[in-house]
Amino acid sequence: MGQDIRGKIAYITGGSSGIGKATAHQFAKEGVHLGLIARNQKKLEKVQNELESYGISVVSYSADISNHNQVKDAIQTFEQKLGKADILINNAAISDYGNFQDMDEEVWKHIFEVNVFGTYHMLKEVLPHLVSKQKGDIINISSSNGLKATAGSTAYSASKFAIQGMSEALMQEVRRENIRVFTMNPSLVATELAFGDELETKNEDKFMQPEDIAEYITAQLKLNQRIFIKQSAQWATNPF
Ligand SMILES: NC(=O)c1ccc[n+]([C@@H]2O[C@H](COP(=O)([O-])OP(=O)(O)OC[C@H]3O[C@@H](n4cnc5c(N)ncnc54)[C@H](OP(=O)(O)O)[C@@H]3O)[C@@H](O)[C@H]2O)c1
């Protein structure tokens, strides 16, 4: 028998768009209370309004995860208004592509500040919640680019490889506290991050959709507490 996730409390970074938003919707349908972080307050509020119709508690907080103080404030707010987290979805990230020689140092560093240090800040603040409960789930979203790099993605790939290493090491540390750390590595998913302004025109059913990833995330969390999937890759069946 698996487990019910109804009534649990999940914090999701990047809950206003793409995979994070789809996961928030899926969780809300399952009766999970939600703390959502992203920078754009208007987009967050729109998603919050949609989610409240499911009858769960939702708190959204506009924060840049690359800023540790903003993350601290967000997590304190979630703790006061929702309670300590049972589930943390480290999903927010940015991407930028270009040949190594052409990419400015500032851009390169910023990708690390958001993707790697942003995840670090979230873990630093939320892990104590899970440790205090001696139970909990962390899902870190890396990428197929975090397993196999491609030309033009030095910064994004390096940041996602860093997530693999951080995630694997953390998993080994905290499984002794009954905390499950899942690392996911989706290939192309039809979101703004992948398609930018062309999302509307290129969003064909042959590509994985954010809802597919949300279903996978939910299914993983419902596994019996004694099992978890330490690393997985999600591929489109026939994207050609
Ligand atoms: N789409 C793909 O093909 C694909 C493939 C493999 C892995 N992934 C991974 O999946 C995850 C989700 O990506 P997605 O495709 O769903 O992207 P998306 O649609 O662009 O959504 C990204 C989310 O992250 C938030 N965000 C970005 N920078 C942030 C910051 N500094 N602080 C707080 N929130 C921030 C965005 O909101 P604001 O802009 O308002 O902050 C937005 O809610 C990422 O980790 C990505 O690397 C995506």
pLDDT tens-digit map of 173-232? 999 999 999 999 999 999 999 888 888 777 778 899 999 999 999 999 999 999 999 999
pLDDT tens sequence across 148-184:
999 999 999 999 999 999 999 999 999 999 999 999 9
pLDDT given at position 203:
72
* Spacing, Cα 53 to ligand 1 middle (Å): 24
Does the C-beta of 12 come closer than 6 Å to ligand 1? no
For a pocket test of ligand 1, which of 189, 192, 204, 208 has the largest count of ligand atoms closer than 8 A to its C-beta?
189
Amino acid (1-letter code) at residue 87: I
pLDDT given at position 201:
77
> pTM score, two decimals?
0.98
* In 64-183, alpha helices (H): 68-81, 105-112, 118-133, 154-174
The two structure tokens encoding residue 115: 């993707």
Map out the domains of the chain as residue ranges.
9-234
Does the C-beta of 110 come closer than 6 Å to ligand 1? no
9-234: what CATH class?
alpha beta
* Spacing, Cα 93 to ligand 1 middle (Å): 4
Amino acid (1-letter code) at residue 124: K
* Spacing, Cα 178 to ligand 1 middle (Å): 28
Eight-class DSSP state of 163: H
**Considering only CA atoms, which of 135, 87, 142 is closest in space to residue 119?**
142
User: What are the catalytic residues?
Assistant: 156
